[in-house]
Amino acid sequence: MENISLILSDLDGTLFRNDKSISGFTKQTIAQAQKQGVLFGISTARAGVNAVKFLDGINPDIMISNGGGLVTFRGAKIYSCEFSVEEIRTLIDATFEICGKNAIISVDNERGLYSNSKEELGDKFWTYNDFSDFNEPCMKMCIETLDKEKVTAVASRIGLEQIDFLPFSDIPWYKLSKKGATKEKAIDALCKHLKLSPLQIVAFGDDFNDIGMLKLCGKGIAMSNAIDEVKAIADKICLSNEEDGVAKCISEILKL
């Protein structure tokens, strides 16, 4: 690959340890890479306003959040792709019709993460909403189900050609987003903005929504704890998220 200009890392199952913490060694390694002039970015399905609450000690140059629906470079928005108010309303209503009135869903946008769950969704940074009158554009919607047929029926209400939907490997949920709100589409927009080639990027990931990113970038690295589908397309497999795999691989690649 060409000279490395950018390192991108997923969060859950990748940069995060299982308890959502980031080790001191990882924080130090990222800072050293940035001092050498290499940009560091996060690429996550989490809402940006949620993700930043876990990054104490890390100052990413780039944030690809909301599954690729939002990209910022040093705080400035450079790309956004979202469902309109009408589209997200259609998807919400279709979910309750097809999956039942007690279906659990979440949606996120630039302002926050919202859910009708009365239980914690893995962490505490979300706002309760029963979605009876929700009327904000959103970058991502998630449904608590593994029934692909039902999710397909929901997505078809605004057109399957407009929606990208994937399951999560570690939780029984499906993610729905616009076709342009994927990590690889976000990276395309980022590269145009920064005048970089994807070949200059090293990317780390572990789950279904990381596959396109790892295939696009010059070096796509899977965690040893990644799902088999990710490992199968990766250029390299590093140590697990519990073993500081991202940081140790960065240190090796950059000879820190």
Indicate left, alpha or beta for 167 from its phi (over 0: left) and psi (-120 to 50: alpha).
Answer: beta
Q: How confident is the model at residue 160 (pLDDT cuts 50, 70, 90)?
A: very high
Domain with CATH 3.40.50.1000 in the chain: 6-81+181-254
Could you tell me which of 233, 234, 238 has the C-alpha nearest to residue 250? Answer: 238
CATH topology of domain 6-81+181-254: Rossmann fold (3.40.50)
- Report how far residue 223's alpha carbon sits from residue 236's, in angstroms, rounded to the nearest whole number: 9
> Per residue in 214-247, pLDDT tens?
999 999 999 999 999 999 999 999 999 999 999 9
Residue 249 belongs to what H/E stretch? helix 245-254
What is the per-residue DSSP string for 89-100? HHHHHHHHHHH-
Any idea what DSSP says for residue 12?
Answer: I
pLDDT score recorded for residue 256: 85
The answer to whether the beta carbons of residues 227 and 210 sit under 8 Å apart is: no
- Token pair 């980022």 in the structure block, residue: 190
Q: Which residues contact 22 (CB under 8 A, 6 or more apart)?
A: 15, 16, 54, 55, 56, 57, 58
pLDDT score recorded for residue 118: 81
* Per-residue pLDDT at 2 exceeds 60: no
Domain with CATH 3.30.1240.10 in the chain: 85-178
> Per residue in 24-68, pLDDT tens?
999 999 999 999 999 999 999 999 988 998 999 999 999 999 999
pLDDT score recorded for residue 18: 95
Name the pTM for this structure: 0.89
The answer to whether the beta carbons of residues 145 and 114 sit under 8 Å apart is: no
Residue 115 belongs to what H/E stretch? strand 113-115
* Per-residue pLDDT at 127 exceeds 80: yes
Q: Which CATH architecture has domain 85-178?
A: 2-Layer Sandwich (3.30)
Q: Which residue has the higher pLDDT, 171 or 200?
A: 200
- Report how far residue 216's alpha carbon sits from residue 88's, in angstroms, rounded to the nearest whole number: 29
Q: For the chain, report the end-to-end CA distance as a whole number of angstroms.
A: 18
Per-residue b or e along 103-140, where b marks 16 or more CB atoms closer than 10 Å to that residue's CB: bbbbbbbbebbbbbeeeebeeebbeebebeebebbbbb
> Per residue in 101-119, pLDDT tens?
999 999 999 988 999 998 7
pLDDT averaged over every residue in the chain: 94
- Report how far residue 225's alpha carbon sits from residue 156's, in angstroms, rounded to the nearest whole number: 33
Mean pLDDT, rounded, for 140-150: 96
Q: How confident is the model at residue 187 (pLDDT cuts 50, 70, 90)?
A: very high
Mean pLDDT, rounded, for 6-19: 97
Q: What percent of the chain has pLDDT over 70?
A: 97
φ, ψ dihedrals at 2, nearest 5°: -70, 180
The three-class DSSP label of residue 138 is: strand
pLDDT score recorded for residue 125: 77
Per-residue b or e along 29-46, where b marks 16 or more CB atoms closer than 10 Å to that residue's CB: bbeebbeeebbbbbbbbb
Sheet containing 127-128, strands listed edge to edge, beginning at the edge strand earlier in sequence: 127-128, 113-115, 105-108, 140-143, 174-178, 163-167
3-state DSSP helix/strand/coil % of the chain, to nearest 5: 40, 25, 40
pLDDT score recorded for residue 120: 64
